[in-house]
Structure 1
Amino acid sequence: MTEDKLAPFLGTWILDTDASDFEQGEPPKSATLKIEDNFGMAVFTMNQVAADGEVTNDTFEAMPDGPEVKLGKSGLVDAMRLVFQGDRNLVSEARRGGLTIMKADRELSEDSRTLTVTQTVHLVDVSSFTNISVYRRAQ
């Protein structure tokens, strides 16, 4: 059952900036990621304080292993998918015109205390950048 697979990912995660590695952009001063279950929908809430002090809050939701979700508000991407790859990887793909332009692979450690998010952005006609964010489970 999908909800059982989602359960280990649920909770509040705090970014470990020292363990993270950013190819693109400055790593944030701090960040939290909250993953909640809303009747089978995975709800992601991200709060981040950038290196320059700017605060960003973002939220999105998707059905794990569900159909592709069409997005209207963002001009950058027009669809998103969220899939399980095994028991410890929850992967989202943001797509535009059928092409994946951003992929975020959330990998849970064996002890479920660490969530490593490997985010790859594919820029058309340029190259790809990978940012690795390591989150620790909040107590």
Structure 2
Amino acid sequence: MVQAYNFLASWQLFPEKCDFQSGIPPKSGNYKIESADNGHALSISINWVSMDNEAYYTQYKIVPDGKSHLFENVELADEAQASIENSSTLLFKFYKNGQVILEVKHEIMPNGYLKLTQQGYDKDNKPFVNIEMYHKQLSVLPYASSVAGVAIRPTKEGVIKHKALSAMEDQTNMQLDQIRQQIELLARQAQEIRKRKELSMMIYEAKLSFKPQIGHIYHLYEKNDGQHILSLVAPQEWGGSGPFKQFVSSVRLLADHTWVEVN
């Protein structure tokens, strides 16, 4: 079970990254893998909602020892087999009348996403491949959900849980988005302040032959010796950088005595 550690999490579905050849396309879903029976089995919890807003929920256990075991959901399969191929690959196989009717391959991708590839046969006995993509949830939910190919049916408990989950997700996602926007705004403001500080330090170390006035625009030049000088004369008035090595920037003095670059 040590190698299964990477899979033990609550995973949230990326509906836009999925590819379904069979079944009901999901609108949202979660897929939770937990250790069970003192580490001898895996507990799979599934909860998802269709495009028609119908909620589904189911749960089952599977033993990842590479051997076939009786499966509790007889509607889907008589037996199930699970094997841990390596630290990033987990394989489930479901049997009916001795034949593999569904294979679910779990893969941890290099970007940390969980990819589920389901291969099986639909009700018309035609082969299909469904691909689902998940990302690991940062918070641990009391249960999890997904659109895994295991046969699941809508239940009253699933509907109630899904409504509560949807409301919680909507509220927390909105709050997290607001915080993210605030963080991005603060980051931009911090960057602007840092730029003003660096520019101000350069100007206050430059040669000044007059007292700058708040709100006025001045022009910063670099001299041939690498020092800077603040001038009242703009580059166009010089016809270039004038007697200096190069023009650096036009700047304005703000009320807090920092300087800001102007076009």
Q: Return the TM-score normalized by structure 2.
A: 0.49
Contact 1:107 1:116 survives alignment (8 Å) = yes
Secondary structure at 2:26 match in 1: coil
For 1:24-75, what per-residue CA distance to the aligned partner results, in whole angstroms no more than 9, with x for missing partners? 1332010000111122211110101011111111111112125311135423
CA displacement at 1:110 relative to structure 2? 2.7
Counterpart amino acid of residue 11 in structure 2: W
Contact 1:79 1:94 survives alignment (8 Å) = yes
Counterpart amino acid of residue 9 in structure 1: F
- Who is 1:76 aligned against? 76
Secondary structure at 1:131 match in 2: strand
- Who is 2:125 aligned against? 126
Cα distance in 1 between the residues matched to 2:90 and 2:14: 19
- Who is 2:60 aligned against? 60
Higher relative contact order (CA 8 A, sep 6+): 1
Answering whether residue 65 of structure 2 is matched by residue 31 of structure 1, we say: no
Contact 2:3 2:86 survives alignment (8 Å) = no
Structure 1 pair 11–128 and aligned structure 2 pair: CA distance change class (3 A) = same
Cα distance in 2 between the residues matched to 1:21 and 1:128: 15
Task: Choose 1 or 2 for highest CA Rg.
Answer: 2
Higher strand proportion (structure 1 or 2): 1
Counterpart amino acid of residue 21 in structure 2: E
- For the aligned residue pairs, the C-alpha RMSD in angstroms reads 1.7
Cα distance in 2 between the residues matched to 1:16 and 1:93: 24
Counterpart amino acid of residue 79 in structure 1: E
Contact 1:94 1:100 survives alignment (8 Å) = yes
Q: Identity over the aligned pairs, expressed in percent? A: 26
> Which one of the candidate residues 15, 26, 42 is aligned to 1:17?
15
Is the deviation greater in 91-100 or in 74-83? Answer: 74-83
- Number of residue pairs the alignment of both structures matches: 136
Runs of at least 5 residues in structure 2 that lack an aligned partner in the other structure:
139-263
Contact 2:66 2:83 survives alignment (8 Å) = yes
Cα distance in 1 between the residues matched to 2:21 and 2:124: 18
Answering whether residue 111 of structure 2 is matched by residue 105 of structure 1, we say: no
CA displacement at 1:125 relative to structure 2? 7.0
Counterpart amino acid of residue 53 in structure 2: G
For 1:85-110, what per-residue CA distance to the aligned partner results, in whole angstroms no more than 9, with x for missing partners? 22211111110111100000010113
Is the deviation greater in 27-36 or in 65-74? Answer: 65-74
Cα distance in 2 between the residues matched to 1:78 and 1:97: 7
Runs of at least 5 residues in structure 1 that lack an aligned partner in the other structure:
none
Counterpart amino acid of residue 27 in structure 1: P
Contact 2:13 2:28 survives alignment (8 Å) = yes
Higher helix proportion (structure 1 or 2): 2
- Who is 1:138 aligned against? 137
Cα distance in 2 between the residues matched to 1:89 and 1:121: 18
Answering whether residue 50 of structure 2 is matched by residue 50 of structure 1, we say: yes
Which runs of at least 4 in structure 1 moved beyond 3 Å after TM superposition? 123-126
Contact 1:101 1:123 survives alignment (8 Å) = no
Structure 1 pair 48–130 and aligned structure 2 pair: CA distance change class (3 A) = same
